[in-house]
Structures are given as C-alpha cells and as structure tokens.
Chains A and B, each alone.
Chain A
Amino acid sequence: QSVLIQPPSVSGTPGQRVTISCSGSSSNIGSHSVNWYQQFPGTAPKLLIYSTNQRPSGVPDRFSGSKSGTSASLAISGLQSEDEADYYCAAWDDRMNGPGVFGGGTKLTVL
C-alpha cells in the first residue's frame, strides 16, 4: 500500500485534457512540494514536474501540476499518443524523514 494514493488508470482521447490525482496527508503533500515522474515501459522514470508546478527544461507546457491541501494533481492538455505512460507522484514525508514517498502510479492510456 503506497503512502500517496493515485488512481490505477486514466484514459483519454487525443486532444483531450486529463488529470491524475494524488492524495496524501499533512506529513507529506500538506507540508511539502510534490514531484511527478513519467515512466515508459522498460525505461527509468523521468522527472516531469518539480516543486509542485515547475517543468524541467524540455517538458512541454501541456503538462502542469497543482496542489490543494493534502492533494495534488497532474494535468495533461492536448493529449498525444506519446503521452501514454505511467505517472508517479512523490513528496517528502516528515514521518519517514525522507524524500521518497511515492504514489502507486497511474497508467495513462490514449484511446
């Protein structure tokens, strides 16, 4: 059971906007910024969003992040077939006193 809770799967059609939720608690999302990672099959995860809503260089502005209270969201607008991947949220956790609490991951399917 992951500390952060994500839906196992979401889907959308090309051009659509989809969101992936990430639910935590006061010891993680409620007190700290959230990061999102994108993982394609057979490859290592890649940092997609950091500090809740910042994009690393090279990440399209179709990807955006937000947070409210103890929940965070990743939004993908103008959905493209190459966005089909697994997405993980992560945050620092005060109880663990460490950075590595992850969500269970969400599989995004582009129909």
Chain B
Amino acid sequence: QVQLQESGPGLVKPSQTLSLTCTVSGGSIRSGDYHWSWIRQPPGKGLEWIGYIYYSGNTYYNPSLKSRVTISVNTSKNQFSLKLNSVTAADTAVYYCVRFDSSGYYHDAFDIWGQGTMVTVSS
C-alpha cells in the first residue's frame, strides 16, 4: 500500500524559503500513471493546488504561485520536494503531498494523500 509522508520545518521566517520533502513508500515514484503533487490548506480554509511533478522531472504549477515555486524529484530516494520562496504569513498552511492519478484507475483524481504538515510563517 502506497503511503506518503511529509517532512520539513514547521516554522519559517517571512521572506525566507519554505522547503518540504515527501517520501513515498510502498510503491515506486517512477510509476508512469502518476504525478506527484503538493496541495495546501490555510487554517480554516479550502484546498489550493500548488503544482505537481512527473518522475521524469516535468513540472506543472498553479499560475498563481508559479513565480515562487519549485518542485523537484529524487527517484533514487523515492522522494519529491517543494520549495516556496519569499514566503509571507499568507503562506501559513497545512501542506499535503498527494499522488495524482493521471492515467491509472482513478483517472484525474488525487487518490492518496499524506497526513499533512503544518507550516507557520512568522518571525
């Protein structure tokens, strides 16, 4: 059973870079049916898709965040990562790493979610 686990600092200072890593276990990140995503949820608010990456390194970002986001993949470690630069308090949220089924059974759906990690932007 595939599982995703986020890791990284829970507190980031304003103007700095938020960095998170997602470790995939129970399956290979090289599976061609999936893209590997980041989604965030500010406290008490809804979900926002940040972007995703294919195992080959192809990336797709939410246009509203594209200028500040970098998603990368490390297939040897079965991990993918998020960097969000120039953060402000508005970036305070629970960050989820999520598998997007792009051509498998649950076509075009976010089918497996990590438990999420809270990141607070504050000095």
Interface residues of A (CB under 8 A from B): 2, 32-33, 35, 37, 43-47, 50-51, 56, 88, 90, 92, 96-105
Contact = CB atoms under 8 A, between A and B. Distances in A.
Nearest to A101: B49
Given A43-B115, A47-B109, A90-B47, 12 more contacts: A32-B108, A37-B47, A46-B113, A50-B108, A88-B46, A97-B60, A98-B49, A98-B52, A98-B61, A100-B39, A100-B47, A102-B47
Interface of B: 37, 39, 46-52, 60-63, 96, 100, 102, 106-111, 113-116
Chain B binding surface SS class = strand
Contacts of A37: 47, 110
B59 to A, nearest CB: 11
Contacts of B107: 33, 50-51
Contacts of A105: 46-47
Contact of B106 (A2, A50, A90): A50
Given A88-B47, A102-B46, A102-B49, A51 B62 contact: no
Contacts of B96: 44-45
